[in-house]
A and B are shown apart, each in its own frame.
Chain A
Amino acid sequence: MTLAHGAHGTSSGALVLVTASAVVGAGYAVLAWRRRREPRGWGAWRTISFLAGIALLVLAVLPFMSPWPVGDLRGHMLQHLIIGMLAPIGLVLGAPLTLILRTVPRRWGRRIGRLLHTRPVRVLVHPVTALMLTVGGMVALYCTPLHQVATDGSVVHHLTHAHLLTAGYLFAWTIAGPDPAPRRPSVPTRLVVLGVAILAHAVVSQLLYAGLVGGPIPAPERRGAAELMYYGGDIAEIMLALAILTTWRPRRGPTARVRAAAASDGRNVGSVVRQ
């Protein structure tokens, strides 16, 4: 009974996720509070954004939050939207990596910077890799029988969620994150990658709406899920597009304000990680 996937969250997996989210959120809050009392401070909006991301994650996996009956595709879609798109934007804008870098001793910061510049990480943290992971996950989930398997088996289901969250975070980080990333491509390149993701998202949701993918699901349920995916995806993608606007940095910062912003954003990493 407790392991039945359909119960969506009364399972031990959801309990683990809620606990982990709470621990991460509390850890962030403690570190942010400490940094806030330092002269350089820590932006309140970052803390709010990160904790909002955590709250969204918790809401998404709690079983009684879904307005639809257990196992309804619309409920799954909403869950996937939150875990894979909305929550990652909140988490990424909270700049957790920058918070860690400011907390740990400088040599640890350098070590993290070096790690970011190793080849595997560089390949992983590239917008095109993130694009393939997130779009690939979406295509695998809705255009193959994976979705049926994922709703039947608890382990696959939680792995799916883990993939959605990781890929979504990676994508939001490389596209619009305030955190440093190794060899991040220019803003125009990132906009093109975002455009491709938007296109793929719209196409898969239209295919789902038309019933060409998704398996044997009653039409109203399938269309409702497709509409959620289409318009919910748009809203999340607009947020991500506008987030680029808040986090892009000038290649040269002549004004004092810009210099201050640049300094506050990676004194520990400035020497190792260039944006």
Chain B
Amino acid sequence: MHLTGFDLLFWAAGFIENLGLLFVLWYRRRAKNFPFFTALITLNVVRTIVLYLVLRLGTKANYFYTYWSLALLDTVLQLCIVYEVASRVFRPTGGWAREVRGSFIWLVGLSVTVAFGLSWLASPPARTWAQSFVTKGYLFAEALMSELFILMMALSISARLPWRTHVAKIAEGLGAYSLISMLIETGHSYFGVGREIPAFVFLSHVRMAAYLACVSYWILMLWRDEQPGRAMTQEMRETIFTLQRQVEYHLHQLRSRKKL
């Protein structure tokens, strides 16, 4: 695979920025709060090194299998981050609120359906069935991620859950990046995939530039401290947990009444 100077510049910039973000995550002690996000950034650093070495020293087949194994791991980690963000935003007291949990499950179902519909509609000009499947798969994953992060933000703000925290910044960055990536995947589905297609190369550079902007945003936001919360007294904590049980009981009553 032939790489231009521009490609290498983006590659090097991405590697340095990922290292910078990893430094911020550990130095500012954010890593223990966001283990999956830290794992994703670590994977990005490791991936750059491994792929570079495989490209220089390995065969084409080695590169193919390494690339796709790491891409699969990347997608799994992104889904884990969705869970990480949701669990930190929607269960600040340690238990999922029933009302929010119901809406969240509904939201995930809707997102999967819409993303599936969009990828089903796409008809990329691919040479092989596998290439078409991969392009559609990418479109599905990016559409799903952008939906989940944006709808999670909407749900938390409408439920007036705390959103202006580090977890919100991670979700905003990933939401924006996923949306841009989805538009890029739309371009791939329309123009086709392959380094011989100028539109494909241009879109790849746009994606890398968007990622660099996103990582810069995370470095800045995660370096800053979030607004400190005040500690609750033991008495207040007990009152709140008693209330939580009452809420569940009354919710059950309301639901039974609705069914009548």
Q: Do A and B bind each other?
A: no
